[in-house]
């Protein structure tokens, strides 16, 4: 395994960061996960644009897109695999043991891990914790991910692959690493970014390609939706066959199946939409 760290490729054993890196000590960092098929990244421009928005929101220097593209290409060439999870991590760099940042500049890591295609359907649960739609990190893809770790562990304990959050006013928001869509009377709806959800790359493409509507939705919509599906970089579009104790045995339903078909065709035609 070869990893890009701060300007060049390193072997796994030598790709180390300081124990004082702010991404480690206080979670002061951002990241992107990019799907790579046969060494080709999908929607890389959109991911880099979101990385820059996250950096701005966190007060980090703007990442160098050319350097990151070079890093991604080098890592993909050095680690050939049919389907990979390309992870771009950008942190506040070496800093003091506190919330103040140091002056050493950011750390950039690009790594690749092999993955497999997700099944067409999955189970989800709702969790009792909420997303704060007015928080300082709302809408940013940061490395402060412990809340998601806890919620995802709860999902696995209940035989599900994803946990869904409501926000502080009881609206449906998002999953730990996915966006959620529901079908009501033949129309596709998803929570707006104002709900506190991450503006997912796959979410945006699904809205553009299927005509889905951004709608404020109560959390209990999951009990009555005709169909439910998730979107994320590595899921693409994935139908939900169980939400908490509610079974949706026909999943993927006709609207979801059509959305899956459209996404597969459109993403196959353009690797950087």
Distance of CA 55 to the CA centre of its chain: 16
State the Cα torsion 221-248-264-140 to the nearest 10°.
40
Separation between Cα atoms, residue 39 and residue 79, nearest integer Å: 8
CATH class of 121-269: alpha beta
pLDDT in tens, 19-48: 999 999 999 999 999 999 999 999 999 999
CATH class of 2-114: alpha beta
Annotated domain spans of the chain: 2-114, 121-269
Separation between Cα atoms, residue 234 and residue 7, nearest integer Å: 27
Distance of CA 106 to the CA centre of its chain: 22
pLDDT in tens, 179-210: 999 999 999 999 999 999 999 999 999 999 99
Diameter of the chain measured on Cα atoms:
56
Report percent pLDDT > 70 for the chain.
Answer: 100
Q: Give the pLDDT of residue 2.
A: 96
Q: Please give the model's pTM, rounded to 2 decimal places.
A: 0.96
What token pair was written down for 232? 């994320």
- Is the pLDDT confidence value at 103 over 90? no
Question: In the predicted model, what is the mean pLDDT of residues 108-115?
Answer: 98
pLDDT in tens, 67-94: 999 999 999 999 999 999 999 999 999 9
- Is the pLDDT confidence value at 102 over 90? no
Domain 2-114 identical in fold to domain 121-269: no
- Is the pLDDT confidence value at 217 over 90? yes
Separation between Cα atoms, residue 60 and residue 44, nearest integer Å: 20
Q: Give the pLDDT of residue 185.
A: 97
197 in helix, strand or coil?
coil
- Is the pLDDT confidence value at 104 over 90? no
Distance of CA 95 to the CA centre of its chain: 27
pLDDT in tens, 149-178: 999 999 999 999 999 999 999 999 999 999
Q: Give the pLDDT of residue 251.
A: 97
Which band of pLDDT confidence, cut at 50, 70 and 90, is reported for residue 256?
very high
What backbone phi and psi angles, to 5 degrees, belong to 186?
A: 85, -5
Strands 29-37 and 83-91 come out as antiparallel
Report percent pLDDT > 90 for the chain.
Answer: 96
Computed over every residue of the chain, the mean pLDDT equals 97
29 in helix, strand or coil?
strand
């Amino acid at each position: 395994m070869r990893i890009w760290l701060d300007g060049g490729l390193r072997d796994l054993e030598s790709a180390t960061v300081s124990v004082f890196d702010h991404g480690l000590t206080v979670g002061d960092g951002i990241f992107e996960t990019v799907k790579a098929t046969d060494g080709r990244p999908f929607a890389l421009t959109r991911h880099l644009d979101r990385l820059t928005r996250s950096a701005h929101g966190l007060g980090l220097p703007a990442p160098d897109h050319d350097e990151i593209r070079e890093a991604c290409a080098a890592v993909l060439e050095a680690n050939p695999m049919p389907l990979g999870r390309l992870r771009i991590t950008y942190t506040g760099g070496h800093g003091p043991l506190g919330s103040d940042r140091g002056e050493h500049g950011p750390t950039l890591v690009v790594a690749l891990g092999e993955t497999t295609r997700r099944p067409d359907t999955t189970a989800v649960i709702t969790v009792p914790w909420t997303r704060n739609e007015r928080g300082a990190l709302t809408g940013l893809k940061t490395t402060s991910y412990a809340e998601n770790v806890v919620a995802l562990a709860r999902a696995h304990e209940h035989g599900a692959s994803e946990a869904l959050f409501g926000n502080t006013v009881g609206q449906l928001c998002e999953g730990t690493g996915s966006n959620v869509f529901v079908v009501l009377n033949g129309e596709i709806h998803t929570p707006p970014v104002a709900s506190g959800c991450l503006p997912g790359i796959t979410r945006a493409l699904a809205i553009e390609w299927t005509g889905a509507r951004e709608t404020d939705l109560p959390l209990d919509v999951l009990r009555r939706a005709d169909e439910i599906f998730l979107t994320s970089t590595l899921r693409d579009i994935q139908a939900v066959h169980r939400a908490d104790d509610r079974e949706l045995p026909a999943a993927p339903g006709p609207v979801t199946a059509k959305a899956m078909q459209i996404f597969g065709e459109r993403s196959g035609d353009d690797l950087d939409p």
